[in-house]
Amino acid sequence: MEIIVCVKRVPNLSETEIEVDRDGRSLVDSDLEYDVNEWDNFAIEAAVQLKEARGARVTAITIGDEDSEDVLRRALAMGADEALHLMDTAFDGSDAWGIATALHRAIADRSFDLVLTGAISSDEARGHVGGMLAAMLDIPMVALVTSLSVDGTTATVRHEVEGGLERVTRIDLPALITVQTGLNEPRYVSIRGIRKVSGMEIPVRTAADLRLDASTVGAEAARVKVEEIFLPTRGEGAEMLDGDEESVVEALVERLQRAGGF
């Protein structure tokens, strides 16, 4: 069984003081720490667990600059057998369509049974790539999967549908699945684990290697463009409580009481 996992390196914004760049369309990245996209981490774990349970060959693929090699090394340390790095300045500024196009060219010529992607990426939060890639590969897909088992030529998946419902679906392989967080408990990657795979060769493919027309990817080809990024502005009635912990809590309690919250 061949499993392909698409992973992405994203900024970790949880404890960061976010600053919007002067162009208003990107973040100042001098202080940003990057990590593998959380959803993708669950996808790698799912692939490795399938490999451990029934045997499979797992390949991790990413698109990005040299720094993106990190997330591929991480995937290898978790148990992926090989990695593929799509790197070309031509990919810069791609929208989801451009990313899916490049991934499609990288995957289409390979044999595969299952393609896993994260349901969304934390930086763009659109959730487009999985669906577009499935369409380009012309294979069935299920989104937001919370449990996954593979039996011969079919996969049985549970996935979230509207209204908090979950549904169990059976699909024929090859198929694409976008993974929701909580599907499993991703393993920890130790420093030794990373060091063990540091010598593994990771092939790099450019747009030309993929016989990809550079005009179909990148900023120029992007049909979705970011107009502005901004921190939420203070809405009407919003109030920031300043001061030390105690006075803030007191003030909050007083306001809640006034509003009939207690």
Partner 1 sequence: MNPADHSYLGLPGPALQAVLLAMSLGLFSFIMWKRIGLLRLGAPDPRLDRIGTRLRKLLVVGFGQSRQPRYLVAGTLHITIFAGFLILSVRSVTLIGEGFRAGFSDIGAGYATFKDVTALIVLVCCLVAILRRLAFRPARYHDRYARDSHGHEAYIILGLIALLMVADAVFEGSAMVAGAGEAQGDAHPFLPLASGAASLLDGLSSGTLETLHLAGFWVHNGVLLFFLCYLPLSKHFHVITALPNVFLANLTPAGKVKPPRFDQPDLDKLDVLGVKTLEDFTWKHILDFYSCTDCGRCSDHCPAYFTGTPLSPRMISIKCRDEAYASYPVFGSVRPVDQRQALVGKTISDEELWACTTCGACEEACPVLIEYVDKIVDMRRFLVDEGRVPASLQKPMADLEKRGNPYGKPARRRGDWIGEQSKSGEEVTGDGCGVRALAPGDEAEYLFFTDSCAAYDPRIQETARAFGRVLRGAGANVGTMANDEVDSGHEVRRLGEEGLYEQLRDTNITAMRQRSFDCVVTTDPHAFNELTQSYELGQPVQHHSQVMAQLIREGRLRLRTAADDRVYTFHDPCYLGRHNDEYDAPREVLEGLGLKVVEMERSKNRSFCCGGGSLYLFYEGESERRMGEVRVEMAEKVGAEVVVTACPFCLINLEDAIKTTGREGSMEVIDLAELAERSLIE
Number of chain positions touching partner 1 (CB under 8 A): 20
Rounded Cα gap, residues 179 and 211, in angstroms: 29
Nearest distance in Å: CB 33, partner 1: 5
| Selected range binding partner 1 among 15-23, 128-136, 210-218, 253-261, rule: CB under 8 A | 15-23
Q: Which is nearer to partner 1, 17 or 227 (CB)?
A: 17
Candidate residues 51, 128, 158, 187; the one interacting with partner 1 per rule CB under 8 A: 187
Q: Where are the beta strands (DSSP E) in the chain?
A: 2-6, 9-12, 33-36, 57-63, 82-86, 114-118, 141-151, 154-160, 166-172, 175-179, 204-205
Candidate residues 26, 89, 156, 190; the one interacting with partner 1 per rule CB under 8 A: 190
CA 177, 181, 187, 192 dihedral sign is positive
| Selected range binding partner 1 among 57-65, 130-138, 149-157, 183-191, rule: CB under 8 A | 183-191
Rounded Cα gap, residues 48 and 4, in angstroms: 11
How far apart, in Å, are the Cα atoms of 6 and each of 15, 63, 126, 132, 139?
A: 26, 9, 15, 13, 16
Task: Name the token pair of 239.
Answer: 């109030």
The answer to whether residue 111 forms part of the interface with partner 1 (CB under 8 A) is no
The answer to whether residue 242 forms part of the interface with partner 1 (CB under 8 A) is no
Nearest distance in Å: CB 209, partner 1: 31
How far apart, in Å, are the Cα atoms of 7 and each of 18, 32, 84?
A: 24, 19, 10
The answer to whether residue 15 forms part of the interface with partner 1 (CB under 8 A) is yes
Nearest distance in Å: CB 50, partner 1: 16
Question: What b-and-e string marks burial along 199-222, b requiring 16 or more CB atoms within 10 Å of the CB?
Answer: eeebeebebeebebeeebbbeebb
Say which amino acid occupies 164.
G
DSSP code for 187 = P
The answer to whether residue 227 forms part of the interface with partner 1 (CB under 8 A) is no
- C-alpha angle with apex 122: 157 to 56, nearest 5 degrees? 40
Q: Which is nearer to partner 1, 191 or 238 (CB)?
A: 191
The answer to whether residue 6 forms part of the interface with partner 1 (CB under 8 A) is no
Nearest distance in Å: CB 45, partner 1: 9
SS3 of residue 215 by DSSP:
helix
The answer to whether residue 12 forms part of the interface with partner 1 (CB under 8 A) is yes
| Selected range binding partner 1 among 7-15, 91-99, 103-111, 206-214, rule: CB under 8 A | 7-15
Candidate residues 93, 127, 140, 193; the one interacting with partner 1 per rule CB under 8 A: 193
Site for partner 1 in 66-85 (CB under 8 A): 78
Helices 129-137 and 96-108, axial angle in degrees (round to 10):
40
The answer to whether residue 16 forms part of the interface with partner 1 (CB under 8 A) is yes
Q: Of 106, 121, 23, which is closest to residue 60 (Cα–Cα)?
A: 106
| Selected range binding partner 1 among 30-38, 92-100, 160-168, 246-254, rule: CB under 8 A | 30-38
Can you give the binding site for partner 1, defined by CB under 8 A? 12, 14-17, 31, 33, 35, 78, 185-193, 195-196
